[in-house]
Structure 1
């Protein structure tokens, strides 16, 4: 079991390194099998590559499915990414309410970008009831002065 875990960790580490160094074909080859095994860090990166056609042909269905699985597993970056997919209607139907749900999940884990986007959504009444008090509270949590 220990050898299996270390092989898995090595493959994940190598795949993430390839991704970070923009060696997307290599990253896709290393991370795709791990994503299929349900590893959120691999799923998130496969989703980014599939969404943008990096190291593979663009594949909106794979991008959405992998991002959603990683988000449901609790990966904050994937929750943020899925929220943007819903907000922009990329790889899935536009759904501001679902975007708010996933931005909240990522914001609960401290992602400043999610807090800021959520604040803007409350400020504009996009996907939620317009609430300037909540918008200002979220902006403050994100480190901004009151608007």
Structure 2
């Protein structure tokens, strides 16, 4: 009794020994390492915001302004932002590679994912490092109460 198996549905041709950098392997390693680091960063973020001090009732604009005035928390938030966006973008890239059936479709979807990740990283990083709760020259009636003493 002989049976044959149908060829697997795969968008890529299999080559036995490909020269160069194995991007899939490094993407796989990045997902594992960034996932572990993200767990630490996220639980640290949640602990400081929800458990330390007055807890959830203390979360307001002044709390965020005070936190973003500290370079340690700026870098903490930027590391969390970068790792999470790249981690999510890499996961979406993997889904596109698995489920998009045409080469053009994969290219368009992966380009859209890359553009979204880059734009969000740039905007998020700018917000964290240029955040000023008390901008000079702003009308005093629009400023938070802790800025009016300036």
TM-score range, shorter chain: under 0.3
Q: Which has the larger radius of gyration?
A: 2
Question: Under a length normalisation based on structure 2, what TM-score does the superposition of the two structures give?
Answer: 0.21
